[in-house]
Structure 1
């Protein structure tokens, strides 16, 4: 069973964090996201850094569509470029498997704003432009990574923390007095599918979709061609259990967030995670061997709010839990 991190970590030393992730998760190295470096390095800053031909600016705490990129937008792109250089220097021709996590189109449509203040989600044309720009930009980035580091196998993680709220119509408007209309699941799936198609064309063979909120749109993910669904198992509802079992039985990867991350520095032991995994496998009613072959153990969500020492211990325990799972379930 593979093990990996979700992405966000404490601290501001990218090279050090990358080395630590390589140590903890040698079979699937997660590229760190370090939001402590500022808004240019968080999930939205990294997302806007991949947009093509769509200038943005940072106005107070909000990213907005603009006439020309401002200093923050240029800094976001420069930070991403430095991180890519550091990845290349660190790997130095190694045949590693590396996971890149970047913001997906639904979450970006919530967090990127129009000039009038409302979210891009509110405007059909703007939402389509952002989704298309994101798909093109991430495909270009994927092609560059493959060109610069041909020995690396790249796994792409589409981060969509806001997706269930977008689909359910729970996103508040700028005033907070109303909610945006639910986004049709077929439209949302079209945006996701366009991103997946662009990544496939750029040579990415494994594409994951991550969300640690309840309400995973299983059918949308299948229709969009996603390979791995990465979830917080604590958010699974009764209706999700059959969908998760079907997902595994279709030989798709299932990222199992078994280490709760909501309480700062509350490290789950490998034995605790193994117990949770065994209970989940029994509940799903799937072949244990299938769970180890297709399962990916992870923390439930990012660890950016934790101390570096506790985050490191948690990652080590996740990796150890995957080893124990192989021993317990593969026989």
Structure 2
């Protein structure tokens, strides 16, 4: 997997870089409650692919489902003891979620003024929202075909509106949308428990799951004023059994996976995708502890060994982007910062090895 000269298309349509090299970025969650500081760190430590962090320590309104629900267009939610629920009108918690996200965008706009390049925005995906949100009369949205359809359509329109807003605020950002889907495998396999806990919801058919993604990908390819670039979609899943082949078929630009949850079949599907131009976010740095659990050399070697096993050339390998396995909110601030720096060093090592 080496050679003196490699011509490769950068992942996700990023501006070409000389010399070509492996990128690195964060996944989403970050410790603490200061969004301005978190955004500044994301830009400073991941300069080629910065991202908007998520700060779950601020409470349910700022966590994955709360932030995702705040993006929905035309659907109201409220927060109940059992979690977020579709509602006739938003309550105080829902209004707080929208307000916090607006403040996050304000912080982003302040920090990113003058920045030109790719930027990653993460939102809860349609199937994780359908699995987490409850219907007004109880049980999960995923149990009802009509409710599922409404959430998918609402999220698609909401993300499109969010993209348009960011284009107005920061027209020099080349946006990438990351859909966080930790519950997607459970939706496909019937692994979600009912409200009673005594049974499980029926699995959702793959064609319906695929159609939701196809609609969203097509909407982001077409949204925006004349001449606006299509917005690539990446799906992040930190659970075992991510349906990589399905995601490739619906046109997503990439997948981001926890290497610790990947079996042989998943690796084979990723390898096929990489040869066809798929972007692969390799979650090579464990996030289950309170500090980075691997050195840069270990992270780089972990990824390179699997790329070698798949027989991929350097061109395909350079479409790999190093990430933490999942978010970094479980670390303290120093540990989270150290994690991004481990990835940066590992990306340099992996680049050198791929390029010989």
Give distance in 2, aligned partners of 1:206 and 1:110.
Answer: 24
Give distance in 2, aligned partners of 1:63 and 1:278.
Answer: 41
Q: Does 1:148 align with 2:169?
A: yes
Which among 323, 327, 330 is matched to residue 352 of structure 2? 327
Which among 138, 143, 162 is matched to residue 183 of structure 2? 162
Give distance in 1, aligned partners of 2:290 and 2:241.
Answer: 24
**SS at structure 2 position matched to 1:29:** coil
CA offset digits 1:87-136 (Å, max 9, x no partner): 11111132132100000110000111012220000111011001100000
Partner of 2:306: 280
Partner of 1:71: 92
Give distance in 2, aligned partners of 1:196 and 1:206.
Answer: 7
Partner of 1:310: 335
Count of residues in correspondence between the two structures? 330
Partner of 2:251: 225
Give distance in 1, aligned partners of 2:330 and 2:100.
Answer: 21
Structure 1 runs of 4+ off > 4 angstroms?
A: none
Give distance in 1, aligned partners of 2:120 and 2:28.
Answer: 9
Residue 183 of structure 1, CA deviation = 0.8
From the superposition, tell whether residues 266 and 90 of structure 1 become closer, same or farther in structure 2 (CA, over 3 Å): closer
Give distance in 2, aligned partners of 1:89 and 1:240.
Answer: 40
Q: Does 1:130 align with 2:151?
A: yes
Residue 39 of structure 1, CA deviation = 0.5
Gaps of 5+ in 1: none
CA contact (8 A) 2:288 2:330 kept: no
Q: Please give the TM-score of this superposition, normalised by the length of structure 1.
A: 0.97
Gaps of 5+ in 2: 1-21, 224-228
Moved more, 88-97 or 67-76: 88-97
Q: Please give the TM-score of this superposition, normalised by the length of structure 2.
A: 0.90
CA offset digits 1:148-175 (Å, max 9, x no partner): 1111111110110000011010000000
C-alpha root-mean-square deviation of aligned residues, in Å? 1.1
Q: Does 1:19 align with 2:40?
A: yes
Residue 266 of structure 1, CA deviation = 3.9
Give distance in 2, aligned partners of 1:131 and 1:281.
Answer: 35
**SS at structure 2 position matched to 1:180:** coil
Give distance in 2, aligned partners of 1:207 and 1:319.
Answer: 23
